[in-house]
Amino acid sequence: MISPLEARYYRRRMPLLWWVRRRTHALFMAREVSSLFVALFVVELLLLVRAVARGATAYEAFLDAMARPAVIVVNLVALAFVLLHAVTFANLTPRAMIVRVRGRRVPSRAILASVYLGWLVVTAFLAWLVLA
Amino acid sequence: MTARTERRVTPEPFVWLLFSAGGVVAALVLPVLLVLFGVAIPLGWVAAPDHAHLLAVLRNPLTRLGLIGVCALTLVHAAHRLRFTVEHAFRLRRYDPIIATACYGAAVVGTAAAIYLLLAAL
């Protein structure tokens, strides 16, 4: 038996990198780390806005900088994490949001389908806005 | 749980609301922009939009407000998540006041930069 005093100060030892051992823990951490790349890309977007505000020459320089191989690699990694974020967040919606129509619960598949449909609409609109 | 802890007012629900809104916005808006500006345009899959077109799009009041909203919400989302990621991954909960200040502070700075760029610089 351990005394209550000992129990109070008992701490289970955890390795510093406790999340690398199990796949589910590593996936959890990858999902959390996605936020870093979300922030990184927002900074890139702000740099784009700054370049556009400064004029055509600055905008060309921005495009050149984005076309450097190292930057493309970073952006591909960022894309993987941002997509991981998007998919995991979208799949969360049916759990976070329970919709009832005439007293009956809308099945989570239907909610999920509408989420992805909305995502497609937003994606198409933004692509049109940028490129058209 | 005692009655005292139940009555305590925390900013947690408000931060949580911003967090989930930012997560939704990031999921909806960022992938397409990242594919376009980070991959497709640099690799030459699609032609870069010309400067005049982007300037016109960005000067639209709806774009300005929308982009400020996107930046603010996604940065708060990332800050909130990063705060707990750093604390959990490296067991640094002791330093929460410092980490929280750094994370939310960075989000506020980024949002201020977005407001300046979109309302004053364009």
Q: pLDDT, tens digit, for every residue of A95-131?
A: 888 888 888 888 889 999 999 999 999 999 999 999 9
Within a domain: B24: no
Tell me if B100 is assigned to some domain.
yes
Is B29 in Cβ contact with A126 (below 8 Å)? yes
How many domains does the structure of chain B reveal?
Answer: 1
What letter would DSSP give residue A104? E
Structure confidence at residue A18 as a pLDDT band (50, 70, 90): confident
Q: How far does the CA of residue B42 sit from the closest CA of chain A (Å)?
A: 4
The pLDDT value given to residue A11: 73
Tell me the residue range of the domain where B112 lies. Answer: 49-121
**Interface pTM (ipTM) of the complex?**
0.88
List chain A domain ranges. Answer: 29-96
pLDDT for residue B1 = 46
- Chain B CB contacts of A49 under 8 Å are 58, 67, 114, 117-118, 121-122
Predicted local distance difference test score (pLDDT) of residue B7: 67
What are the chain A neighbours of B26 within 8 Å (beta carbons)? 38, 82, 85-86, 89
Which parts of chain B register pLDDT below 70? 1-7
CB-CB neighbors (< 8 A) of B24 in chain A: 89
Bridge partner residues of A104 (DSSP): A101
Q: What is the pLDDT of residues A45-88, one digit of tens each?
A: 999 999 999 999 999 999 999 999 999 999 999 999 999 999 99
**Nearest C-alpha of chain A: how many angstroms from B47?**
8
In the prediction, which pLDDT does B4 show? 53
Determine, yes or no, domain membership for B108: yes
Element containing residue A101 per DSSP (H, E): strand A100-101
B18 interfaces chain A, CB cutoff of 8 Å? no
b or e along A102-111 (b: 16 or more beta carbons within 10 Å of the residue's beta carbon)?
eeeeeeeeeb
Best residue of A14, A27, A52 to probe chain B, by most B CBs closer than 10 Å: A52
**pLDDT-based confidence at A93, cuts 50/70/90?**
confident
Between CA A117 and CA B17 the distance in angstroms is 23
Q: Which residue has the higher pLDDT, B9 or A32?
A: A32
- A29-96: CATH topology is 3 helical TM bundles of succinate and fumarate reductases (1.20.1300)
Euclidean distance between CA atoms A38 and A42, whole angstroms: 6
